[in-house]
Amino acid sequence: MNNSWHKTSLAFIFHSSILQDVMKLASVTQALKDVDLDGELQHVRTLTSAVTTAWGVDWDEDYIARDLMQNFFDANRDRLSEVVIQDIDSHVVVSAPTRFQLERLFYLGSEKGDDDVGHYGEGFKVAATCLLRDHAVTPIAISGNDVAVLRISERTVADTKMCPIEYDFYRSSREVPGTVLVLPGCTRKCFGSAQR
């Protein structure tokens, strides 16, 4: 094999990967700027989940909105009037006063109480998968200075067309009180469902 060709190919792959990372970060930064939550983002890590685009779930906008809102209600039971849903520049933004450890979104399992809905930690993953796969909406969760962005991986699982869901974790220079979920480009239909 020609060594210079091999080095050029590796350099192209490396630079393509960097370019993809820059483009992903630019779209996240723009979405946060659109809803006045922009700050300098520093990448912390990326985790690849076992959830893929081939997961046999098919939630409509009502189910997605209901599950996402239920998580906010469970975490803010004593302050429900402070859970706010906004439509800002074609992005749905849900905010609440209670902070949340975003890393918990990645894992299955839950420590919810008996009065809470859901106990397995899979509802958010189903909602996020359907948003990403079926509606091209990239969920962005923010709590304090922590930011989690969910996306469909560019890589497929070996010998399949399945793409895993990836979680990009960032640290933001801008701190938000409580927790915010930004759904860039989310349809008014989805927003209307959440309002009910």
**Number of domains within the chain:** 1
Collect all residues with Cβ–Cβ distance below 8 Å to 92 and sequence separation of at least 6: 85, 86, 182, 183, 186, 190, 191, 194
DSSP lists the bridge partners of residue 94 as: 85, 181
Residue segments in the chain with a per-residue pLDDT below the cut of 70:
1-25, 109-121, 187-196
pLDDT for position 158? 93
Q: How far is CA 78 from CA 21, 82, 190, in A?
A: 40, 9, 25
Q: Which amino acid is at 56?
A: G
- Domain coverage including residue 172: 3-195
Q: Which of 30, 13, 10, 45 is nearest to 168 (CA)?
A: 45
Cβ proximity of 172 and 29 under 8 Å: no
At 57-97, the pLDDT tens digits run: 899 999 999 989 988 888 888 999 999 998 888 889 999 99
Distance of CA 65 to the CA centre of its chain: 14
- Check residue 32 and give its pLDDT: 82
pLDDT of residue 189: 63
Return the pLDDT at 117: 47
